[in-house]
Chains A and B, each alone.
Chain A
């Protein structure tokens, strides 16, 4: 654990690949933690990292959005086993959601895409992944516009079960607009050389000693964790 504390301050300037790997290690750690105490330690660690990054407020908003899913998940587990397992299951989800948050707020879509390319993923695939994240708020706004337009016509869509039969009234315009947007974006990207071979990147990513230490420490921790579990 001490190695992680040393790296806390440097986490934001680590290579995106390192951050990705550490996040994956963390998720593995959480998934294989079956007791409450280790899960609490793990969550507190992430909370501290988020606190240092100054993103606690956004994190709380994120947790609010994730809470229904975690509760639902916990309820399903409760139904099939007992209360304690249910709580642990829900808590695990919250834990994993928090590390997702920490990763995505400390890594820009370009950093992520470029890191994946350096790790061997073909550029178009990596790019598509990073760009889709960008457009989630845009599509949310368009969905809001659709809601306004349809309600203005008198079509009763909105929150509530009664409106479920009008769901297609929201879905179809949003889908069509996403397709249109994708076509226009493709044109713009093509015009700026998207498919051209030999592309370089604005930010240069190199694995530095700090990165290798971090990855190594993460692996060690993971190994220690599994060994301790055997005892």
Chain B
């Protein structure tokens, strides 16, 4: 079938409910030829995920709503055909590695789309093998998806999409839950796929990972494409007003001074030579560090290094097999968790794991009330600090991702603990959120609260932490000031934290 463009979007307007005055997509025009590699970027709420879903027909067929204009992929109008019809033209990869794999083996997973096409079993088998070999995951074919790491899961999702030999592959924030070394692997895989003649559209707001790879950048703001240019012509000040940021090459060497705790600040947390195993697997080996009042340390490392396991020792959720942890003078192995929770607040990665109240105010206060240390003044201070006044009467589950995280942080602080621990606070969040969080952290440390940041977001850690602890395979392999740790290239490599800065000529 002859068609002039792989993607042709014209005057696209869309709202999830009936026509409103402020549709989510407010007049999008975009054309793309065969084999283009396009970055779609925008802050949270800009409409980039919505636009991705129009490319394979999920919008309007799966989501309903009201759509004007048209979207044609290889000449096929997505509004007229069903999502099933688009199967051989568009492959989609979603953000959450856990929620897009649903078969019992990887072989079945990659085969699923081919089964939908009605191909013969022998053809399905050979196409599955080819797709897996191209992405070097052929040895995973008989594994259960849930036993794979997040990075491997994303690879499988990409293999499942490429097995259909589509003309276009769309990826909606595929790097959101991945650590830097896995991001690199996926980037290489995508470059390889592109070399085979496929058009790629990737929606992301971490520009420094994606700018070097793409031919074209389209910036979305308020449902419109405001910039459409090759990446070489894009400068940081062009995108600042749209809630986006990207550091120029060399930012890792830049010195940022974070004021440390005042001299003589008391130690609030002391971890002495702890080791821990679960189900016979050693997860932590001889870890030691101390934390002082008003200090902010970043615990860095790849997924699986043991960072979250370490966090869970602070308030007694886990008890070490060897060694001792002292929180505010209390030995964690001698006290019950509610007693320790009074002094250590942990905000885990997924705020959905904790919300159970009908409004935000009750949600924040819940922990403090359970611990019998409800202080109205302090709760009001927290509401003020995290900018939650307008959200107090709303139901926590209906908030946006960034708003939920702020409520989760406030909840962790409700009992005014001495130590606040944040587990991957910036995962999947845009620049606006990260700037706001940096502000919160400096206010908290000024107040004397010690902060532990568990993250693999090197830039954020650099902007906020006084000290770094680098972890790999359950051990601390480097510690000290950010400058010292970052310059230890071997340690950084071991930890799977390749410096995120790349020149634009990165191959």
Which of B20-28, B341-349, B488-496 has 4 or more CB atoms under 8 Å from chain A?
Answer: B341-349
**How far, in Å, is B475 (CB) from chain A's closest CB?**
23
Inter-chain contact B121/A203, CB cutoff 8 Å: yes
Q: Which of A181-201 contact B (CB under 8 A)?
A: 181, 184-196, 198-201
A152 interface neighbour in B58, B82, B146, B317, Cβ under 8 Å:
B317
From known contacts A152-B317, A192-B87, A194-B116, infer whether A202 and B108 are also in contact, taking CB-CB under 8 Å: yes
Query: Residue-by-residue, is B320-362 near A (CB-CB < 8 Å gives 1, otherwise 0)?
Result: 0000000000000000011001101110101011111000000
A130 partner residues in chain B, CB cutoff 8 A:
104
**How far, in Å, is B111 (CB) from chain A's closest CB?**
4
A150 partner residues in chain B, CB cutoff 8 A:
354
A148 partner residues in chain B, CB cutoff 8 A:
312, 317, 348, 353
Inter-chain contact B56/A191, CB cutoff 8 Å: yes
B352 partner residues in chain A, CB cutoff 8 A:
173, 176-177, 180
Q: Which of B96-138 contact A (CB under 8 A)?
A: 96, 98-105, 107-108, 111-121, 124-125, 128
A202 partner residues in chain B, CB cutoff 8 A:
107-108, 111, 114-115, 121, 124-125, 128
Cα A108 to Cα B144 in complex, Å, equals: 11
Query: Residue-by-residue, is A62-94 near B (CB-CB < 8 Å gives 1, otherwise 0)?
Result: 000000000000000000000000000000000
Most buried by A among B56, B116, B315, B338: B116
From known contacts A149-B354, A152-B317, infer whether A185 and B102 are also in contact, taking CB-CB under 8 Å: yes
Inter-chain contact B353/A200, CB cutoff 8 Å: no
Judge if B397 is at the interface, Cβ distance under 8 Å: yes
Query: Residue-by-residue, is A96-127 near B (CB-CB < 8 Å gives 1, otherwise 0)?
Result: 00000000000011100000000000000000
Cα A181 to Cα B414 in complex, Å, equals: 29
Cα A152 to Cα B101 in complex, Å, equals: 30
Instruction: Give the nearest-CB partner of B61 in chain A.
Output: A190
Q: How extensive is the interface on chain A, given as a class?
A: 35 or more
B345 interface neighbour in A151, A152, A189, A204, Cβ under 8 Å:
A152
Most buried by B among A108, A188, A190, A204: A188
A176 partner residues in chain B, CB cutoff 8 A:
352, 355, 397
Query: Residue-by-residue, is B286-301 near A (CB-CB < 8 Å gives 1, otherwise 0)?
Result: 0000000000000000
Which of B218-226, B365-373, B428-436, B447-455 has 4 or more CB atoms under 8 Å from chain A?
Answer: B365-373
Inter-chain contact B353/A192, CB cutoff 8 Å: no
Inter-chain contact A152/B104, CB cutoff 8 Å: no
Judge if A131 is at the interface, Cβ distance under 8 Å: yes
Cα A150 to Cα B412 in complex, Å, equals: 10
A190 partner residues in chain B, CB cutoff 8 A:
58, 62, 83
Inter-chain contact A154/B312, CB cutoff 8 Å: no
Inter-chain contact A173/B354, CB cutoff 8 Å: yes
From known contacts A110-B108, A154-B370, infer whether A145 and B348 are also in contact, taking CB-CB under 8 Å: yes
A196 partner residues in chain B, CB cutoff 8 A:
84, 87, 116-118
Judge if B411 is at the interface, Cβ distance under 8 Å: yes
A149 interface neighbour in B121, B348, B414, Cβ under 8 Å:
B348
Inter-chain contact A184/B96, CB cutoff 8 Å: yes
Inter-chain contact A185/B317, CB cutoff 8 Å: no
Judge if A168 is at the interface, Cβ distance under 8 Å: yes
Judge if B486 is at the interface, Cβ distance under 8 Å: no
A109 partner residues in chain B, CB cutoff 8 A:
103-104
Q: How extensive is the interface on chain B, given as a class?
A: 35 or more
From known contacts A155-B370, A202-B107, infer whether A188 and B87 are also in contact, taking CB-CB under 8 Å: no
Judge if B497 is at the interface, Cβ distance under 8 Å: no
Which of A1-9, A23-31, A134-142 has 4 or more CB atoms under 8 Å from chain B?
Answer: A134-142
Judge if A169 is at the interface, Cβ distance under 8 Å: yes
From known contacts A153-B341, A155-B367, A187-B62, infer whether A200 and B121 are also in contact, taking CB-CB under 8 Å: yes
Inter-chain contact A110/B116, CB cutoff 8 Å: no
B356 partner residues in chain A, CB cutoff 8 A:
168-169, 172-173
Inter-chain contact B102/A189, CB cutoff 8 Å: yes
Judge if B92 is at the interface, Cβ distance under 8 Å: yes
From known contacts A145-B348, A152-B348, A156-B338, infer whether A193 and B113 are also in contact, taking CB-CB under 8 Å: yes
Query: Residue-by-residue, is B42-70 near A (CB-CB < 8 Å gives 1, otherwise 0)?
Result: 00000000000000101000100000000
A146 partner residues in chain B, CB cutoff 8 A:
353-354
Inter-chain contact B342/A154, CB cutoff 8 Å: yes
From known contacts A138-B98, A148-B312, A191-B83, infer whether A110 and B354 are also in contact, taking CB-CB under 8 Å: no
Judge if B94 is at the interface, Cβ distance under 8 Å: yes
B114 partner residues in chain A, CB cutoff 8 A:
202
From known contacts A138-B98, A184-B96, A203-B121, infer whether A154 and B116 are also in contact, taking CB-CB under 8 Å: no
Cα A201 to Cα B124 in complex, Å, equals: 9
Inter-chain contact B94/A188, CB cutoff 8 Å: yes
Cα A181 to Cα B370 in complex, Å, equals: 29
**How far, in Å, is B336 (CB) from chain A's closest CB?**
9
Cα A147 to Cα B168 in complex, Å, equals: 42
B379 partner residues in chain A, CB cutoff 8 A:
none
**How far, in Å, is A209 (CB) from chain B's closest CB?**
21
Inter-chain contact B102/A152, CB cutoff 8 Å: no
**How far, in Å, is A133 (CB) from chain B's closest CB?**
8
Inter-chain contact B104/A200, CB cutoff 8 Å: no
A151 interface neighbour in B337, B355, B411, Cβ under 8 Å:
B337
**How far, in Å, is B376 (CB) from chain A's closest CB?**
17
A155 partner residues in chain B, CB cutoff 8 A:
366-367, 370
Judge if B274 is at the interface, Cβ distance under 8 Å: no
Cα A202 to Cα B106 in complex, Å, equals: 12
Query: Residue-by-residue, is A13-55 near B (CB-CB < 8 Å gives 1, otherwise 0)?
Result: 0000000000000000000000000000000000000000000
B119 partner residues in chain A, CB cutoff 8 A:
200
**How far, in Å, is B403 (CB) from chain A's closest CB?**
16
Inter-chain contact A192/B355, CB cutoff 8 Å: no
Known: A137-B146, A191-B92, A201-B115. 14 other contacts (CB 8 A): A108-B104, A110-B104, A134-B103, A138-B98, A149-B346, A156-B370, A169-B356, A173-B356, A176-B352, A177-B350, A177-B352, A193-B87, A196-B118, A199-B118
7 contacts between A and B (CB under 8 A): A130-B104, A134-B104, A153-B414, A173-B353, A187-B58, A192-B113, A203-B121
A interface list, Cβ under 8 A from B: 108-110, 130-131, 134-135, 137-138, 142, 145-146, 148-156, 168-169, 172-173, 176-177, 180-181, 184-196, 198-204
